[in-house]
Structure 1
Amino acid sequence: MDPIIFMITTAGLDALVNAQGGSTEPIEVVSVGITANAFTMAPTISSLPGELKRIEAVSGQAVSETVIHMTAQDASTDIYELRGLGLYLADGTLFAVYSQPTPLFRKVSISFFLLALDIGFSSGVAGAITFGDTTFLLPPASETVKGVAEIADAAEAAAGADDQRIISPKKLRQVLDALGELIAPGSPNFSAAFTALLARTITGAGLASGGGNLTASRVISVLAASAADVVTGTAADKAVTPAALSGLARSLAQNGYVTLPGCGGLILQWGRFSAASNATSSTLFPTAFPNACFSVASAGGASGGADSQDNPPVLVTSSISQTGFSVFSADDSSAGHAYLAIGN
């Protein structure tokens, strides 16, 4: 519904100006006066003409800068017609008034009076007004305010122009069914709709390939890299999967090796062995390098005797091959030895 435009009285305006200036407490409406009399609204009115009673069960909430949703209830057995309203502050000041010739509401003795109105103000003062009783509210629902909303009828749902009413699942189904009939084969609009649909295409890009127009089902494909592709590290049109990584050659043990992904087949190998005393000792890698061993980092250890500190095993560089290498030890006892080798 359109907001009912209240007129702020002179006394109400003074209170509002003082409140906005910070010299008084914020404006708080504590009751609503009602009258059966229609009257001419004027800012000089200080009391509601022909006031019947005041209702203190009143709540309100600003729903925009200029509109407040107000709810009031009267559970008495009083009988009256409502043509005018007045908003009263805690000190008895008549803050704002409204009147119209025709009744807003007719109450009989057995009825429960529940008044829900959207009150409009000509300027953005709604946020400066509070209500004394906030135990019940029925504000209009919006995207930011929880409240009451009207359900759209079939015509409003089909028109799709109303942003205030909500659509029920049943009405939504009716709209979707009607849309399906509109573009169904045999309908007058089918040809144009189908032509527009076929104009759409699905296209792969980057790692994805495939696609096409919608005349048939289309498949978008992404090629998976193999373990060999990961080792080589040159393919730019395949995706690396966990399965491809787990397929790389490796042995995680004290004497082991691993293939480094994306490095053109680079392999690391490591291990330990015992170097014989006063002799040359050879060891084999856990697996032979397919092409070459580039380098070996040798870590010799002394046997532990007092005469061994200057005689750790040393690498014989000329012995490095695809399959292993040798060390020479001048120690009188055998000694442990460790290494790290790199190749491809």
Structure 2
Amino acid sequence: MSDGLPLKITNAGRAALAAAIATATAVTIAQVGLTAAAFFPAPTIVALPAEFGRLAAVSGVAIGDDVVHMTAQDSTDAEYTVRGFGLYLSDGTLFAVYGQDDPIFEKADVSTLLIAVDVKFAAGEAAHIEFGDTSFIYPPATETMRGVAEIATQAETDAGADDERIVTPKKLAQRLVAVVGGVIGDLWGRHVNTAGLATGGGDLSVDRTITVPRASGAEAISGLLDDRAVTPAALRAVLLDREIVGGGLAMGGGDLLADRIITVNRASAADAIAGVNEDVALTPRALWSFPGADGATDYFQIPGTSWWIMFVDGAISANTTIVVTLPTTFPHYCRLAVVNAGRTDYASQDNDAFASSWNASSVTVFNPSDAAQNFWIMAVGR
């Protein structure tokens, strides 16, 4: 048996194969010619040199899209030496040849000649090659092809590198004993240790249990133990035990199982002016909601009180009394009105204007001076 012999396809064989591919047919390899002569396998050869016989028992099969496995045999009592051979098509065309100087094989009269070779083609060509005799085929076994395979030695089995030989149960068992035995020995020498909250463990000669104790709800609430794990149930107990509630002006709250809202109600403008409610908080806007607080007028209410302050300016002629109307009327009365801090203890030419009387809506101003004056009034009332 010979493997991997580099057969040379002849020009005639290549032309026949090309025609078969073009017509979607196949060429048929029908015979193997034998020669004892050494020759150079050139593609121009049309006949096998010094051919002494042909074998018609030729079988083959495509074992891939570019490889054909071929088998030929001679079970006669003939004796001969073979240095070359050729593949003939059914129409007599010499398809491919192989030759070398040393004998490829020698046949004795009591032996059977078996030629088995793999022929490499271009991709897709193997499907266009057939064989005249399919009564026996000895292809190499693959994952998708039944065939002949060599049994791996124990060394090859142990190495695990050969992907062509097959492994027997005995050799596999010996390999597994060596591997598993080593693994088990390593496992028994190893330990599973624990730390932190985990307890238990030991070597791997037996089953081991690793335990993490759970904290109860009461233990989680107390927050004292440091050797237990808090579970969702224990955490829920903590959330139920704790509350966030409002006090004073803050209202709302509850336990921590849900989002809570603490609310502080805002005082309205009316609340701010009335000064009565004790359950609302003043905001800057409410604080400046008192009449006149925005500075747009000449009067305003003092926040948190019922007192008002008003301002008026004007001019008065010499030795004259005038009544000045306030920007607005006090709700109840005017308590005091001051005009430029007027004084009456100097000579007439030095006397300032002053408020001689007032009421909720006006102030009477007297100018004792012999000259006209500008004045400013500040009035306070309720």
Q: TM-score range by the shorter chain?
A: 0.5 to 0.7
Structure 1 residue 74 displacement after superposition? 0.9
User: For 1:134-283, what aligned pairs fall within 5 Å after superposition?
Assistant: 134-185=134-185, 190=186, 195=190, 215=204, 216-217=206-207
CA offsets per residue over residues 293-324 of structure 1, 9 Å max, x none? xxxxxxxxxxxxxxxxxxxxxxxxxxxxxxxx
Structure 1 residue 38 displacement after superposition? 1.6
Q: Which amino acid aligns with 2:5?
A: I
CA offsets per residue over residues 221-243 of structure 1, 9 Å max, x none? xxxxxxxxxxxxxxxxxxxxxxx
**1:75 correspondence with 2:75:** yes
Residue 12 (structure 2) aligns with: 11
Structure 1 residue 148 displacement after superposition? 0.7
Instruction: Give, in whole Å, the separation in 1 of the partners of 2:202 and 2:105.
Output: 62
Q: Under a length normalisation based on structure 2, what TM-score does the superposition of the two structures give? A: 0.49
User: For 1:42-121, what aligned pairs fall within 5 Å after superposition?
Assistant: 42-121=42-121
Instruction: Give, in whole Å, the separation in 2 of the partners of 1:145 and 1:63.
Output: 7
Instruction: Give, in whole Å, the separation in 2 of the partners of 1:194 and 1:117.
Output: 53
Q: 1:5 to 1:125 in 2, by over 3 A?
A: farther
CA offsets per residue over residues 182-209 of structure 1, 9 Å max, x none? 2343xxxx26x965x969xxxxxxxxxx
Structure 1 residue 102 displacement after superposition? 1.7
Considering only CA atoms, is the larger Rg found in Structure 1 or Structure 2?
A: 2
CA offsets per residue over residues 89-136 of structure 1, 9 Å max, x none? 111000111112221210112222122222233554222111010010
Instruction: Give, in whole Å, the separation in 2 of the partners of 1:79 and 1:70.
Output: 22
Which ranges of 4 or more aligned residues in structure 1 deviate by more than 6 Å?
A: none
Q: Which amino acid aligns with 2:207?
A: S
Residue 233 (structure 1) aligns with: none
- Is the 2:189–2:203 Cα contact (8 Å) retained in structure 1? no
Structure 1 residue 214 displacement after superposition? 8.7
- Is the 2:3–2:117 Cα contact (8 Å) retained in structure 1? no
CA offsets per residue over residues 233-281 of structure 1, 9 Å max, x none? xxxxxxxxxxxxxxxxxxxxxxxxxxxxxxxxxxxxxxxxxxxxxxxxx
Q: Which amino acid aligns with 2:147?
A: G
- Is the 1:152–1:167 Cα contact (8 Å) retained in structure 2? yes
Question: The residue matched to 2:64 in structure 1 has which SS?
Answer: coil
Q: Which amino acid aligns with 2:10?
A: T
Q: Which amino acid aligns with 2:127?
A: G
- Is the 1:4–1:120 Cα contact (8 Å) retained in structure 2? no
| Ranges in structure 1 where 5+ consecutive residues have no aligned partner | 200-211, 220-344
Question: The residue matched to 2:19 in structure 1 has which SS?
Answer: helix
Q: Which amino acid aligns with 1:217?
A: D
Question: The residue matched to 1:97 in structure 2 has which SS?
Answer: strand
Instruction: Give, in whole Å, the separation in 2 of the partners of 1:115 and 1:63.
Output: 17
Instruction: Give, in whole Å, the separation in 1 of the partners of 2:178 and 2:52.
Output: 54
- Choose 137-146 or 3-12, whichever is displaced more: 3-12
Of the two structures, which has the highest relative contact order with CA contacts closer than 8 Å and spacing of 6 or more? Answer: 1
Question: The residue matched to 1:41 in structure 2 has which SS?
Answer: coil
Question: The residue matched to 1:183 in structure 2 has which SS?
Answer: helix
Q: Which amino acid aligns with 1:9?
A: T
Instruction: Give, in whole Å, the separation in 2 of the partners of 1:55 and 1:101.
Output: 21
Question: The residue matched to 1:14 in structure 2 has which SS?
Answer: helix
- Is the 1:32–1:86 Cα contact (8 Å) retained in structure 2? yes
User: For 1:328-339, what aligned pairs fall within 5 Å after superposition?
Assistant: none
**1:22 correspondence with 2:20:** no
- Is the 1:9–1:45 Cα contact (8 Å) retained in structure 2? yes
Instruction: Give, in whole Å, the separation in 2 of the partners of 1:152 and 1:56.
Output: 33
Question: The residue matched to 1:77 in structure 2 has which SS?
Answer: coil
Taking every aligned residue pair, what percent have the same amino acid on both sides? 47
- Is the 1:29–1:87 Cα contact (8 Å) retained in structure 2? yes
Q: 1:140 to 1:96 in 2, by over 3 A?
A: same
Question: The residue matched to 1:152 in structure 2 has which SS?
Answer: coil
Structure 1 residue 41 displacement after superposition? 1.1
Q: 1:142 to 1:213 in 2, by over 3 A?
A: farther
- Choose 154-163 or 14-23, whichever is displaced more: 14-23
Residue 303 (structure 1) aligns with: none
Question: The residue matched to 2:177 in structure 1 has which SS?
Answer: helix
Structure 1 residue 67 displacement after superposition? 1.9
Question: The residue matched to 1:12 in structure 2 has which SS?
Answer: helix
Instruction: Give, in whole Å, the separation in 1 of the partners of 2:126 and 2:140.
Output: 15
Structure 1 residue 36 displacement after superposition? 0.9
Please report the RMSD computed on the Cα atoms of aligned residues, expressed in angstroms.
Answer: 2.5
